Amino acid sequence: MHEEEIIESLCNKFPFLNCRIYLQKEKRIITKPLLREEFEEVIRFAHDELGFYRASHVVGTDDGENLGLLYILSDHENILLALRESVPKTNPVIKSVSDMYLSIILHERELVDLFGVIVEGLPEGPHYPLPDGWPKGSYPMRKEWDPRYFNKDTMTYEGPQEEKQSE
Amino acid sequence: MSEKNNNNIVFPIGPQHPSLDEPSCFNITLEGEKVINAVIGVGYNHRGLEKTCESKTYIQDLYIIERVCGICSHAHSTAFCMAIEELTGVSIPKRAEYIRVIVAELERLHSHLLWLGVACHEIGFDTMFMYTWRNREKVLDILASVGGNRVNYGVNTIGGVRRDLDESINADILKTMDALEEEIKYYADVATTETTLISRLKGIGRLSHEDVIKFGAVGPVARAAGVEDDIRVTEPYGAYKEIPVHIVTDTNADVYGRTVVRIFEMQESINIIRFCINNLPDGPLTVRTPRRVPAGEVIARVEAPRGEDIHYIRSNGTDIPDRVRVRAPTEANWHGVKHMLEGGYLADVPITIAAIDPCYSCTDRATIVKSESGIRDMDWRAMRQYGIDWYKKQGIDLTVFKR
Amino acid sequence: MSLIKKAIDWGTGKSPWIIHFNAGACNGCDIETIDALTPRYDLERVGIIKQGSPRHADVLVCTGAVTLQTRERLIQIYDQMSEPKFVIAVGTCACTGGIFEDCYCVTGGVDTVVPVDVYIPGCAVRPEAIISAVDKLLENLKKGKKEGTQNA
């Protein structure tokens, strides 16, 4: 399927995607931030009906008040469909897509460690990639986490963030 | 995770082991000789460099990204430069594109030769290890004369390349390619006709076509199962749009298939380098790019020696990136390794893991599972020797094979 | 005792066995270290062999900026080696942390964790520099010096 056909198919099935999905260039379809429920419907449709069989990656981004999760999917023609899920930092709960994409498990674990996302349905397993003994509640890839306030010897975060939390 | 059965042994390997020289941890559960469960731990190499990239300028980040991995450094820096060039909307000169391809293929050659040596070392064929690494020196000499360094050559800059090729370097490259072609013919001969090697590698670490799709494997691991996945062909970038590239695939879908794919890919790399040298266009090497990169996001992909390498960059209009994310090919291949190990023999664990050509610094991040049942300490060297001895008992002895 | 000590010193000085540990490197220095053992540079002909177990080794060749995960493992490996033991820090990252020094998961150079005898800067280090470093180390051993660090 060509990129235009894919976009048309998605917009027909999900009217909320109109004006929120665009062709950035050849083989790159990107969406604007979707709510959790919207995202879950779209990704299942992309997997089941549109042939996006491979999830190459999920990139976590800090968008200020929200966390953005960009799932990069590809099909047999190597077209990339980048679906962006957006969840608030105060309640960053998402549903794992590992039932559809086995290879995404490690990347979802990374979101848990580095961004503090709570992934429901993620299979049991050790955390990744931060070392054992990393302080709980400390998410290094969030913008407010400042490495200058991290004490590597004691593995504690002593920054303004902590002072705010202890108030 | 592990069976509470007296017949089962779980042993942890790593993170220091003499074979792969990269820290990683494996917990393998055995029932007799068969592997029934494997847990792979990577993550010792997690340095947190993406956070550092968010506080340095793009040109400073280029040098960090280049050092994500020493073996595929040019692939990473090419993807990074391509991403920024796309965001700034510049097209780099043709000569620069060709030079990038030449260095990329030289890198593929040295990486595959390195892999071939390491894989042969894993199965006890140390003679081949020494031969391939000796031949690899020729490629490193060329890379040193092109880039100034044998490793981390630093040829790329944002907007083009920093180093040029002249007549004498071109002549050296062509001469080296002729010499290497002879060697590769020998490797291909050994791989396709030597029954000892074939019986050692065939049927090991199987990942079928369906499993490759299911686990999302990339690179030679996917191509060995017949999946035609090569970014140079499916989404050509740079000079690859003008260069004929053939995807090398095999149908064996096991370690033997991956060996064959890599050997013939080396031949393909030699063809590409010859084409580039003979058709190298004249012109400038760089084009000016703005310091401040316009706001936007981009996903860039290149074909590293190990497979598809994805870089995601988001910029906010300043000269410092907002988000940099590197998804290296080994990250995609790890998921299939557990499947490949289970059902196989302990003797095949070293070569199965080595066959995906793992690059831990690219993956950069492992999980460790401690088991409750008895633990027998066996380091990697002992396990490798175990594999070699086990196969000797079956009549497969690669140590006697000499040129 | 002194005869045994003389024998140990003679053996260590003539053919030190090395163990290699990657403490969080990009592999550049690692492949150059192994390169030093392959036919072109061939350290094995002077008696240097790469060992698998820390207990069999005299010299720890360490590459990479030490990450928080490998910190304890590096100490364990160093402790398992028997005296006399020496540490070579190969590469700029192993010397000082290099460009990864301010990364949140990096402790710094190898000398933040274990004492280092020889520093080899470079990115990546050429095998010639590694050979030169081992040579300087052996010279110091012959002269009976253990303390003091040398730049290779």
What are the structural domains of chain A?
Answer: 3-129 (3.30.460.80), 135-167 (no CATH)
Contacts B361 to C, Cβ<8 Å: 24-27
What are the structural domains of chain B?
Answer: 8-45+333-400 (3.30.390), 49-204+279-330 (1.10.645.10)
Q: pLDDT higher for B278 or C140?
A: B278
Tell me, yes or no, whether C1 lies in a domain. no
Tokens representing residue A137 in the block = 């509640």
B169: three-class secondary structure by DSSP: helix
Predicted confidence (pLDDT) at residue C142 exceeds the cutoff of 80: no
Q: With an 8 Å Cβ cutoff, are C21 and B16 in contact?
A: yes
Instruction: Determine which helix (DSSP H) or strand (DSSP E) holds B31, and give its type and residue range.
Output: strand B25-31
Determine the residue type at A146.
D
Residues contacting C122, CB < 8 A, separation 6+: C29, C90, C91, C92, C129
List Cα–Cα distances, C145 to C15, C47, C136, C138, C149, in angstroms.
17, 21, 11, 10, 10
Q: What is the pTM of this model?
A: 0.90
Do B105 and B273 meet the contact criterion of CB atoms below 8 Å apart?
yes
* Residue A159 confidence (pLDDT): 75
Mutate to test the interface with A, among B302, B365, B369 (most CBs of A within 10 A): B365
Scan residues 116-135 of A and list those with Cβ closer than 8 Å to B.
125-131
Q: How far is C103 from chain A (nearest CA, A)?
A: 8
Q: Which chains touch A (3 or more CB pairs under 8 A)?
A: B, C
Give pLDDT tens digits for B72-114.
899 999 999 999 999 999 999 999 999 999 999 999 999 999 9
Phi, psi dihedrals of residue B286, rounded to the nearest 5°: -135, 160
Tell me, yes or no, whether C11 lies in a domain. no
End-to-end CA distance of chain A: 55
Cα separation, A20 vs C135, in Å, equals 65
Q: With an 8 Å Cβ cutoff, are C107 and A152 in contact?
A: yes
Count of the separate structural domains present in chain C: 1
* Residue C147 confidence (pLDDT): 47
Give pLDDT tens digits for B106-147.
999 999 999 999 899 888 888 899 999 999 999 999 999 999
Cα separation, B136 vs B117, in Å, equals 10
Q: By percentage, how much of chain B surpasses pLDDT 90?
A: 56
If pLDDT is split at 50, 70 and 90, which confidence band does B401 have? low
Tell me, yes or no, whether C131 lies in a domain. yes
Question: Residue B63 CA to chain centroid, in angstroms?
Answer: 20
To which residue do tokens 């740079």 refer?
B238
If pLDDT is split at 50, 70 and 90, which confidence band does B243 have? very high
Instruction: Enumerate helices (H) and strands (E) in chain B, giving the number of each.
Output: 15, 8
Q: How far is B382 from chain C (nearest CA, A)?
A: 9
Q: Which of A151-160, B296-305, C104-113 has the lowest mean pLDDT?
A: A151-160
* Residue C26 confidence (pLDDT): 85
Predicted confidence (pLDDT) at residue A80 exceeds the cutoff of 90: yes
Q: With an 8 Å Cβ cutoff, are B46 and C126 in contact?
A: no
* Residue B58 confidence (pLDDT): 95
* Range(s) of the domain holding residue C100: 17-151
- Shortest CB distance from B47 goes to which of C50, C51, C105? C105
SS3 content of chain C, % helix, strand, coil (to 5): 45, 20, 40
Predicted confidence (pLDDT) at residue C148 exceeds the cutoff of 50: no
- B301: nearest CA partner in chain A: A80
- C50: nearest CA partner in chain B: B18
* Residue B10 confidence (pLDDT): 67
B250-253 contacts at long range (C-beta below 8 A, 24 or more positions apart): B250/B223, B250/B224, B250/B225, B250/B226, B251/B225, B251/B226, B252/B202, B252/B224, B253/B206, B253/B207, B253/B208, B253/B209, B253/B212, B253/B224, B253/B225, B253/B226
Q: How far is C35 from chain B (nearest CA, A)?
A: 7
Could you tell me the CATH number of the domain that includes residue C147? 3.40.50.12280
Cα separation, B360 vs B70, in Å, equals 11
What's chain A's average pLDDT?
A: 89
C51–A contact, CB cutoff 8 A: no
* Residue B12 confidence (pLDDT): 63
Do B30 and B346 meet the contact criterion of CB atoms below 8 Å apart?
yes
